[in-house]
């Protein structure tokens, strides 16, 4: 009985973590609320590409691992890792950067992270 309560409490804690974290994770499906971490709210046009590469890669690794840790990927960790690899690829980041600079105004680094993550769903 005691272990059952502990298990239920762990499941509730996990569900709360998922509810709180999903809207801030670039890979989760659903409404995206963004993050307010330092650097991610900076405009792409005002941020050096080297900084953007570092921020995007850091975020992709962190968010992908969170999805795995929260067991949101089930038996599809390989798919999550492919999505992570797409987002962290320097050529993909540079290509997205060029697109954002040439076609958008007011795009943040956070938006760019989410945009790359959305693109990773269809990458081969």
The mean pLDDT values, 10 residues at a time, for the chain of 124 residues are 62 66 81 84 94 96 92 92 96 95 86 94 79
Structure confidence at residue 9 (pLDDT): 60
30: nearest Cα among 41, 19, 40: 19
Helices (H) and strands (E) in the chain, counts: 5, 0
Total domains in the fold of the chain = 1
Asked if 60 and 86 touch (Cβ cutoff 8 Å), the reply is: no
124: nearest Cα among 85, 91, 74: 85
- H or E segment to which residue 63 belongs: helix 49-69
Q: Which two tokens stand for residue 96?
A: 């997205």
pTM of the model: 0.83
Q: Whole domain around residue 34: which residue ranges? A: 2-120
Structure confidence at residue 35 (pLDDT): 85
Q: Is 110 helix (H, G, I), strand (E, B) or coil?
A: helix
């Amino acid at each position: 009985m005691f272990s059952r309560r502990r298990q239920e409490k762990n499941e509730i804690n996990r569900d709360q973590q998922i509810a709180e974290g999903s809207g801030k994770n670039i890979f989760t499906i659903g409404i995206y609320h963004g993050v307010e971490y330092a650097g991610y709210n900076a405009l792409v046009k005002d941020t050096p590409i080297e900084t953007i590469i570092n921020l995007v890669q850091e975020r992709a690794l962190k968010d992908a691992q969170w999805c795995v840790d929260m067991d949101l990927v089930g038996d599809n960790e390989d798919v999550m890792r492919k999505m992570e690899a797409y987002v962290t690829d320097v050529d993909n980041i540079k290509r997205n950067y060029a697109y954002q600079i040439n076609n958008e105004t007011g795009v943040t680094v956070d938006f760019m992270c989410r945009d790359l993550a959305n693109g990773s769903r269809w990458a081969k």
